């Protein structure tokens, strides 16, 4: 099947479908199979999914590392096996009287660099199988703690039994684990009852389009107008604009002279502002890691 589109599309995922379902719907709308994304959302979660179409799928290794932002609701007093509202209740407890000061003290333990144990019901593999597959079989799953960073953790509001949080964190952070661990520290147990992703790297919820809006654009033949060009959201990576001759050399796999001194990858653009390649400079010579344009 042809690839009519090459770019990024920010989608507002609805509740009740998987991330794979979003990919499937977009494949039908765009009429192409080469579609990926920069990070999954559980079925109960909504919000920002950065979809990669065509050549943009080759940028996933760079974009998936970006920080994420969420609005989360934590339900105190009920613990579930999945750490969220989709799981089975495994314990209930009375919610003690908790002052705002006590809650802030509990939240302090989750701010900054922390070691987090992922949920047993996760896609992390153990012995070649996904952890959630083992957990569903009733097998004990022990996942090691891993480092994540909580850049911002703010309480937006609360009731006697719920807490609304805004969380900005490194990629790979499980918000379900924060909810569960917060409940344990408060002595009541807890689970994640609602989650909305509001940020993924440079892409925010205000940019996101619903699947209905995306379908309308597809039906009208204007989907390309809503897409972002290759290289968008990668400002942390150095950018260089090259001559036509140097761009052609990179496209053909040749190395070109470059006076940049860096171990980091560099985005190479042509004079038209199109991303040509992701490159590396070694001993004064720039070579392409990934090429996105073909010689004309």
Domains of the chain by residue range: 7-66+202-226, 68-200, 238-291
Taking a C-beta distance cutoff of 8 angstroms, is the pair 66, 201 a contact?
yes
Of residues 145 and 243, more confidently modeled: 243
The sign one gets for the Cα dihedral 20, 23, 27, 28 is positive
- Quick: pLDDT tens for 169-189: 999 999 999 999 999 999 999
pLDDT at 279 exceeding the cut of 70: yes
Q: State which CATH number among 3.90.1150.10, 3.40.1360.10, 3.40.50.1220, 3.30.2350.10 fits the domain covering 68-200.
A: 3.30.2350.10
Residue 119 pLDDT class (50, 70, 90 cuts) = confident
Average pLDDT over residues 192-217: 97
Q: What confidence score (pLDDT) does residue 120 get?
A: 73
Phi, psi for residue 269 in degrees, rounded to 5: -120, 155
- Say yes or no to pLDDT of 2 above 50: no
Q: Which is nearest to 179 in space by CA: 170, 171, 188?
A: 188
- Interhelix angle 19-30/211-220, rounded to 10 degrees, is 10
Is residue 38's pLDDT more than 50? yes
Mean pLDDT for the chain?
92
Per the CB < 8 A criterion, the answer to whether 90 and 265 are in contact is no
As a whole-number percent, the residues of the chain with pLDDT over 70 amount to: 92
Checking if the pLDDT of 271 tops 60, the result is yes
**Per-residue model confidence (pLDDT) at position 293:** 86
Top pLDDT among 117 and 175 is at 175
Of 163, 217, 226, the closest CA to residue 190 belongs to 163
Give the span between the Cα atoms of 81 and 87, in whole angstroms: 6
pLDDT tens-digit readout, 40-83:
999 999 999 999 999 999 999 999 999 999 999 999 999 999 99
Q: Residues 162, 191: contact at Cβ < 8 Å?
A: no
pLDDT reported for residue 118: 86
Query: Under DSSP, is residue 66 helix (H, G, I), strand (E, B) or coil?
Result: coil
Residue 207's alpha-carbon distances to 85, 156, 234, 259, 264, in angstroms, are 28, 23, 16, 37, 29
Task: Select which of 42, 84, 181, 246 is catalytic.
Answer: 42
Average pLDDT over residues 9-38: 96
Residues in the chain: 296
Please say if 100 is a catalytic residue.
Answer: no
CATH number of 238-291: 2.60.120.10, 1.10.287.610, 2.30.130.10, 1.10.10.10?
A: 2.30.130.10
Burial class (CB in 10 A: 0-12, 13-18, 19+), 50: buried
Least confident of 8-17, 118-127, 144-153: 118-127
Could you tell me where the beta strands, DSSP code E, fall in 43-189? Answer: 46-53, 68-76, 78-80, 89-92, 112-116, 125-126, 129-130, 146-158, 162-169
Which region among 23-27, 126-130, 269-273, 289-293 has the lowest average model confidence (pLDDT)?
126-130
DSSP letter, residue 109: T
Q: What is the CATH number of domain 7-66+202-226?
A: 3.30.2350.10
Cα–Cα distance for residue pair 36/132, rounded to 1 Å: 22
- 238-291 and 7-66+202-226 share a CATH fold: no
**3-class DSSP state of 248:** helix
């Amino acid at each position: 099947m042809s690839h009519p589109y090459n770019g990024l599309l920010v989608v507002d995922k609805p509740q009740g479908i998987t991330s794979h379902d979003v990919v499937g719907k977009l494949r039908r709308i765009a009429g192409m199979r080469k579609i990926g994304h920069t990070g999954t959302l559980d079925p109960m979660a909504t919000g920002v999914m950065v979809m990669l179409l065509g050549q943009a799928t080759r940028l996933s290794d760079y974009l998936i590392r970006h920080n994420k932002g969420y609005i989360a609701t934590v339900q105190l007093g009920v613990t579930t096996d999945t750490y969220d509202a989709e799981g089975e209740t495994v314990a209930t407890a009375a919610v003690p009287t908790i002052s705002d000061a006590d809650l802030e003290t509990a939240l302090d333990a989750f701010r900054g660099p922390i070691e987090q144990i992922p949920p047993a019901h996760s896609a992390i593999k153990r012995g070649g199988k996904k952890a959630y597959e083992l957990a569903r079989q009733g097998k004990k799953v022990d996942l090691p703690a891993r480092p994540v960073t909580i850049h911002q953790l703010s309480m937006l509001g609360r009731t006697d039994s719920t807490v609304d949080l805004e969380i900005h964190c490194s990629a790979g952070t499980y918000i379900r684990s924060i909810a569960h661990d917060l409940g344990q520290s408060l002595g009541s147990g807890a689970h994640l009852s609602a989650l909305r992703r509001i940020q993924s790297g440079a892409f925010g919820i205000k940019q996101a389009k619903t699947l209905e809006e995306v379908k309308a654009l597809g039906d009208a033949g204007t989907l390309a107008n809503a897409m972002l060009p290759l290289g968008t959201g990668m400002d942390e990576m150095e950018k260089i604009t090259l001559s036509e001759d140097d761009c052609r050399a990179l496209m053909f796999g040749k190395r070109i002279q470059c006076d940049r001194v860096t171990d980091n990858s560099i985005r190479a653009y042509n004079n038209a502002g199109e991303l040509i390649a992701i490159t590396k400079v070694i001993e004064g010579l720039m070579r392409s890691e990934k090429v996105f344009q073909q010689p004309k």
